[in-house]
C-alpha cells in the first residue's frame, strides 16, 4: 500500500556494480539504502536515470527493487523507475514493482517515439489503470525527446493516478506554472533546481547529489520548502553548490560513483557506454568533498 503524501528529498539511487561491472552489488546497495535513511532522506528512487536503468537486465531490475524495498524496511517510501519505450512493458514493470512492495512508480515518457499529447495521455492512463500505486510523471526533455509543458501536464494530471511530476528542466518558473494549472491534482518534485523550486511551490526534490550528501541535501530543501527559512536554506545551498557540477550534466553517474569511491563507499564503475570519471578530474572532486565534510561523514556511516 502506498504511503502518501510524498514529500521532501528523494534520492534517485545509483546502482552499485561489482568492480568488473558484471553484476549488481546488492550488499553495496543495502549499505547505500541504510546511509540514505540514516542521513535523513525522505524517499528512495531506484532505477531512475542515475540508476542506469537502461543498462540492467530484467532479472537485475527485480533484484534491485527487492533489495531496496527490503533494506528500507518501510521507513521511507520507495518509488521505482519503470519507464521504457513500450507501453505494455511499462505496465508489466509497474505491476511487478507494485507486487514487490513499491510505494509508487516514476515514469519517463517513451523516449524514441516522441509521443504526442494524445499518445502520452493513452500511455499514462493505460499504466494508471493497471496499478493501484501513484505515478510520478517524469519530465526530462533533454533525454526523453519530448517536453511535457505545464499545459500538457495539466491534461495528464486529470488521470487520477498521475499525482506527482518530476520537473527536470532548467526553468524554475515551470514549477509555478504547473502549480497554477494543475492545482491539487498533481504536485511537483524538482528534478534539477531543488533550491529554486522550493520557493515556487515544489513539495519535493528528486536529487542526484543526495546520493553522496543526503543530510545536507534534505536539510537544504526542507528549510526552504517547509520552513521558509531563507538564511538557513541559502547557507546550506551555497555549501552544497560546489558538488552540483560533479553530479550533474553528462557525467552525473560517473561523477557520483567517483565521489563514493573517494568517500570509501565504493559503488563500482558505471556500465558502458558510460566510463569512469577521468583520472585528471579526481583531485578537484576530492577537494570539493573535503570542503563540505563528506569524506568523514561517509566513512563513519560505512563503519
For 192-234, how does the pLDDT look when each residue is reduced to its tens digit (9 = 90+)? 999 999 999 999 999 999 999 999 999 999 999 999 999 999 9
pLDDT at 300: 47
Query: For 152-170, what is the mean pLDDT?
Result: 97
Q: What is residue 288's predicted lDDT score, i.e. its pLDDT?
A: 96
For residue 267, being part of any structural domain is answered with no
Rounded to an integer, the average pLDDT of 86-102 is 98
**Does the global pTM surpass 0.85?**
yes
Measured in whole angstroms, the distance separating CA 167 from the mean position of its chain's CA atoms is 11
Dihedral (C-alpha) 88, 92, 97, 100: value to the nearest 10 degrees?
A: 170
The residue among 51 and 296 whose pLDDT is bigger is 51
Q: Is residue 12 within a helix (H) or strand (E), and if so which, with residue range?
A: strand 8-12
| Residue 2: pLDDT over 70 | no
Whether residue 30 is predicted with pLDDT greater than 80 in this model: the reply is: yes
Stronger pLDDT, 296 or 183, i.e. the higher one: 183
- C-alpha 222, offset from chain centre: 17
Q: How many domains does the chain have?
A: 1
Q: Does the structure show a pLDDT above 90 at 181? A: yes
| Cα–Cα distance, 193 to 196 (Å, whole number) | 5
242 within domain boundaries = no
* C-alpha cell belonging to residue 272: 558502458
What's the rounded Cα separation, in Å, for the pair 107 and 105?
6
What is the CB neighbour count within 10 angstroms for residue 181?
Answer: 17
Q: Evaluate whether residue 116 is within a structural domain.
A: yes
* Any domain includes 285: no
Per-residue confidence at 303, pLDDT binned at 50, 70, 90? very low
34 is a domain residue: yes
Helix axes 87-99, 58-72, angle to 10 degrees: 30
Considering the domain boundaries, does residue 25 fall inside one? yes
Predicted pLDDT of residue 3: 73
Identify whether 282 is part of a domain: no
Q: What is the CATH number of the domain that holds 151?
A: 3.20.20.70
pLDDT number for residue 184: 94
Domain annotation covers residue 299: no
Closest CA to 217 of 256, 262, 173: 256
Residue 298: band (very low, low, confident or very high) from pLDDT cuts 50, 70, 90: very low
pLDDT at 129 over 80: yes
Domain range enclosing 173:
8-227
Other C-beta atoms closer than 10 Å to the C-beta of 149 total 17
- Which pLDDT band, with edges at 50, 70 and 90, does 281 fall under? very high
Q: For residue 118, what are the CA distances in angstroms to 148, 167, 296?
A: 12, 20, 51
From 24-38, 78-92, 169-183, 288-302, the region with the lowest mean pLDDT: 288-302
Neighbour count for residue 162 (Cβ, 10 Å): 24
What is the pLDDT at residue 4?
79
Q: Is the pLDDT of residue 297 over 80?
A: no
Q: Is the pLDDT of residue 273 over 70?
A: yes
Question: Residue 261's closest CA among 39, 97, 83, 17?
Answer: 17
Tell me the catalytic residues.
138, 166
Amino acid at each position: 500500500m502506498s504511503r502518501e503524501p510524498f514529500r521532501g528529498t528523494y534520492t534517485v539511487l545509483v546502482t552499485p556494480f561489482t568492480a568488473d561491472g558484471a553484476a549488481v552489488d546488492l550488499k553495496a546497495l543495502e549499505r547505500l539504502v541504510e546511509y540514505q535513511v540514516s542521513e535523513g532522506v525522505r524517499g528512495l528512487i531506484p532505477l531512475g536515470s542515475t540508476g542506469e536503468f537502461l543498462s540492467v537486465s530484467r532479472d537485475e531490475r527485480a533484484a534491485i527493487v527487492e533489495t531496496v524495498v527490503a533494506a528500507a524496511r518501510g521507513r521511507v517510501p520507495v518509488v521505482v523507475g519503470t519507464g521504457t519505450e513500450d507501453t505494455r512493458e511499462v505496465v508489466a514493470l509497474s505491476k511487478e514493482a507494485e507486487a514487490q512492495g513499491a510505494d509508487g512508480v516514476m515514469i519517463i515518457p517513451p523516449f524514441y517515439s516522441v509521443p504526442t499529447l494524445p499518445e502520452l495521455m493513452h500511455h499514462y492512463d493505460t499504466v494508471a489503470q493497471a496499478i493501484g500505486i501513484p505515478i510520478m510523471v517524469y519530465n526530462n526533455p533533454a533525454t526523453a525527446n519530448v517536453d511535457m509543458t505545464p499545459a500538457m501536464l495539466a491534461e495528464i494530471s486529470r488521470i487520477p493516478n498521475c499525482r506527482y511530476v518530476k520537473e527536470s528542466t532548467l526553468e524554475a518558473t515551470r514549477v509555478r506554472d504547473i502549480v497554477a494549472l494543475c492545482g491539487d491534482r498533481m504536485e511537483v518534485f524538482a528534478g534539477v533546481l531543488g533550491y529554486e523550486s522550493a520557493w515556487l511551490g515544489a513539495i519535493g526534490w528528486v536529487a542526484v547529489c543526495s546520493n553522496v550528501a543526503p543530510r545536507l541535501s534534505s536539510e537544504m530543501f526542507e528549510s526552504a520548502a517547509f520552513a521558509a527559512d531563507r538564511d538557513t536554506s541559502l547557507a546550506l545551498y551555497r555549501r552544497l553548490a560546489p558538488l552540483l557540477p560533479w553530479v550533474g550534466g553528462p557525467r552525473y553517474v560517473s561523477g557520483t560513483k567517483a565521489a563514493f569511491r573517494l568517500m570509501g563507499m565504493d559503488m563500482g564503475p558505471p556500465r558502458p557506454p558510460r566510463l569512469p570519471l577521468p583520472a585528471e578530474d579526481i583531485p578537484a572532486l576530492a577537494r570539493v568533498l573535503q570542503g563540505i565534510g563528506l569524506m568523514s561523514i561517509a566513512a563513519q556511516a560505512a563503519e
